[in-house]
Structure 1
Amino acid sequence: MVERKEFTYSDLEQWLDQHRVTEIECLVPDLTGVARGKILPREKFTEDRGMRLPEVVVAMGVTGEFPEEGPYYDVITPTDRDMHLRPDPATVRIVPWATDPTAQVIHDCFDRDGRMIPFAPRSVLRRVCELFQYEGMEPVVAPELEFYLVARNTDPDMPLKPPIGRSGRAETSRQAYSIDAVNEFDPLFEDVYDYCEKMELSVDTLIHEIGAGQMEINFFHGHPMALADEVFFFKRTVREAAMRHDMFATFMAKPIAGEPGSAMHIHQSMLRKDTGQNLFSNPDGSASREFYWYIGGLQKYVPAAMALFAPYVNSYRRLARFTAAPINIQWGTDNRTVGIRSPVAPPAARRVENRVVGADANPYVALAATLACGYLGIKNRIEPTPECKGDAYLGDYALPRSLGEALEKLRAETALAEVLGESFITVYTEVKETEFAEFMKVISPWEREHLLLHV
């Protein structure tokens, strides 16, 4: 189990000395999961033990833009004030691909009065974890992250293609769980595992998924913040390793037409804080009331949280019938057609898997949102619908079909806003509306192909 390291600032300094670090990458995950921040000399980092950045740095869209007016500025001050950033000593990692000894440290965001910036992604996840702790519960999560390896692409107008492997050929057929297909990229994955070992990332199983060049990495279960940090670091690591092998790694939800999309399935369970036992199982091994209430919460609130699980226009291309991605929030045991799956497991490991989340989701936001849905289920004792024992793809769509629809649902759900923070919901939805407006300025090849001479 991945635990949060109990690192102090003194421990951090000793770690930096031990690794003879000369530079520090001071990182802050923004709303999209992009690493923002500064690179400081070791002496400057030790002297200041923190830095300042404008608060809009963690409140921008994927294009780097932010709203020009509206409710956004009820939360973000138009004076562009600073955040005060504090390093989280538990997150220190070496940068294994750097030429000089370099460390990377994730920072938390505070205002000048020492209060956490409520719309920063790590703040939102911390807020949700504290709600569980107050109720005597300890959430445990384990992400499964899918991604594609694609040939280097420098022209955004050109479709992505599978990369060339050791054989000199690109994949042209489905290679689900093929060992030989993974071995095509042995040199790349040797670097990935080497980097992960040096960074002490708790990656587990690597498999080839259904799509051409599509891979999946599983993480060991543990504390939500620790796992969100690991996913954040892993994405940086894989992208860097791929570029060093003349290819790209992408976590787009649907990068290649005709191929399955990429998900971030999140396994989640709950421990009793006093005993450490699984809250989802009764002493006799049967499923507890909390297990069913948690599922009920996911069923009730996941549709409203979809803008957090599927944050881009591209995300909704993945969520289509018979494409290995869910279209509704039915639940079932050992059933991969549903949105909420309960894997077969012994009572101590009973858990719920949210299969709705895309690989493009910010790990901090996605973990906070799925835990918030389950939290509301337990608090409000929400009963789930009857278990789906057949093919859930034969049912109706029960999730938003577009980013615009998802944003409307998120704005309307006050219960989620109370758990995640109203200021976060305001900033997030306003930023996503700005992104959506930018997308709508672009005319796609489909429109030119089918509308140019036919309408």
Structure 2
Amino acid sequence: MSDINEEKMERVIEQMVEDNIKFIRLQFVDINGTVKNIVIPFNKEDMEDLFNEGMLFDGSSIAGFVGINESDLVLKPDINTYSRLSWRPEESAVCRFICDVWTPEHEPFVGDPRSVLKKSLAKIGKMGLQYNIGPEPEFFIVDIDENGYPMPYDEAGYFDVEPLDKGPDFRRELTLNLEELDFEVEASHHEVAPGQNEIAFKFKDALKTADAVITFKQAIKAIVDNMATFDQLDYRVTFMPKPFFGVNGSGMHCHQSVFKGDKNLFSDPNSETGLSKDALHFMGGLLKHAPAVTAITNPIVNSYKRLV
């Protein structure tokens, strides 16, 4: 079950000691895209077994996973996803590993979204291809009014500055924390709708990007919650597609490319559009499979309030 480099494992364990880690979050995502985790205390002597064998958990209580008669599943940490959580206390530090979900028979669990993605990437990897995604997640920062209802925390619009835009300090703090989590933040700005923001980070291969988006959403909610507590304000963050009627909703543009070595297969500087035939066929495939893709990328009723 283990293919972990011993030297790398030792380096990560030593880094955990240096970071004063006391607790470990073993994190995964259910079929609905909801982040789940199990927290265990850090014990240096137990880490080799954890990395090599993983940790059993009850999968029957996770939406869309398994029934009660086949409840045992295994969380196996991806050693490459180690990260100290910057918003947790330094004196009792917490780290997280993103995990793959396995069966007790040492097979990738078919209901694990991350394993499904890895299987698809392995398929195109055999063709010498790398699929990259650069996301632009949008989100609202909201305040709670005297009646307990959410409302945008400012009245600014696209690319506005202070005093209309009340978000520079938020975005600065978010960017600094995200950089501590190894994000390469490319740009941040106020979006079109009141209270709406965007922080874009550099494209990477699809697996790293998928991990990053989950971390991004979790980190932003936690960081803003911490800032609101410190400032004694009731700020919240929502990635809900259409939280407010009559104004722009939030989406996540995904810039996509396929590389073969250092060559971007979607680029053709000699064509009229700058796009290659591969790029046109790729877009044709997206259009052909749009209904199925939409079911995944727009999974709730509120998604369609945004689309119309």
Indicate the TM-score class for this superposition, using the shorter chain for normalisation: 0.7 to 0.9
Residues 1:239 and 2:221 are matched in the alignment: yes
Consecutive unaligned residues in structure 2, runs of 5 or more: 1-6, 229-233
d(CA) in 2 for partners of 1:314, 1:202: 30
1:162-241 equivalences in 2 (<5 Å):
162-163=152-153, 170-171=154-155, 175-180=157-162, 184-241=166-223
8 Å CA contact retained: 1:142, 1:222: yes
Partner of 2:15: 15
Tell me the CA shift for residue 23 of structure 1.
Answer: 1.1
TM-score where L is the length of structure 1: 0.59
Aligned residue for 1:123, secondary structure, equals helix
Q: Can you list the C-alpha shifts for 1:302-326, whole angstroms capped at 9, x where unaligned?
A: 1222110101111100002xxxxxx
Instruction: Note if 1:83 corresponds to 2:73.
Output: yes
The residue type paired with residue 127 of structure 1 is K
Distance 1:93 1:153 in 2: 36
Match of 2:24 in 1: 24
Matches within 5 A, 1:52-451: 52-60=56-64, 76-99=66-89, 100-152=92-144, 159-163=149-153, 170-171=154-155, 175-180=157-162, 184-244=166-226, 245=228, 246-272=234-260, 275-282=261-268, 284=270, 286-320=274-308
Contact 2:185/2:202 (<8 A) preserved:
yes
Q: Give the whole-Å Cα distance in 2 for the aligned partners of 1:211 and 1:281.
A: 33
Please name the residue that 1:46 is paired with.
47
- CA–CA distance in structure 2, aligned partners of residues 197 and 116 of structure 1: 31
Out of 110-119 and 10-19, give the one that drifted further. Answer: 10-19
**What root-mean-square deviation, in Å, do the aligned CA atoms of Structure 1 and Structure 2 show?**
2.4
Name the aligned partner's letter for residue 88 of structure 2: A
Alpha-carbon contact 2:26-2:75 (below 8 Å) kept: no
Change beyond 3 A, Cα 1:203–1:56: farther
Change (3 A) 1:311 1:93: same
Letter in 2 for 1:301: H
The structure 1 segments of at least 4 consecutive aligned residues displaced by more than 6 Å after TM superposition are: none
Deviation at 1:264, TM superposition (A): 0.7
For the 8 Å contact 1:147–1:252, the answer to whether it is kept is yes
Given that 2:265 and 2:279 are in contact with CA atoms closer than 8 Å, whether structure 1 keeps it comes out as yes
Alpha-carbon separation, structure 1, partners of 2:282 and 2:17: 45
State the secondary structure of the residue aligned to 1:180.
coil
- Judge conservation of contact 2:143–2:151 (CA < 8 Å) in 1: yes
Higher relative contact order (CA 8 A, sep 6+): 1
Aligned residue pair count: 289
Letter in 1 for 2:223: A
Q: Secondary structure at the match of 2:204?
A: coil
Distance 1:11 1:304, change over 3 A: same
Q: What secondary structure, in the 3-state scheme, does the structure 2 residue paired with 1:161 have?
A: strand
How far has the Cα of 1:8 moved from its partner?
3.5
Is this contact kept in 1: 2:171–2:188, CA < 8 A?
A: no
8 Å CA contact retained: 2:60, 2:67: no
Equivalent-residue separation in structure 2 for 1:107 and 1:154 (angstroms): 41
CA distance in 2, matches of 1:93, 1:268: 26
* CA deviation profile, 1:323-365 (whole Å, cap 9, x unmatched): xxxxxxxxxxxxxxxxxxxxxxxxxxxxxxxxxxxxxxxxxxx
Once the two structures are overlaid, the 10-residue window that deviates more, 212-221 or 50-59, is: 50-59
More strand by share: 2
TM-score by length of 2: 0.86
Maintained 8 Å contact 1:26/1:105 = yes
One-letter identity of the residue aligned with 2:208: A
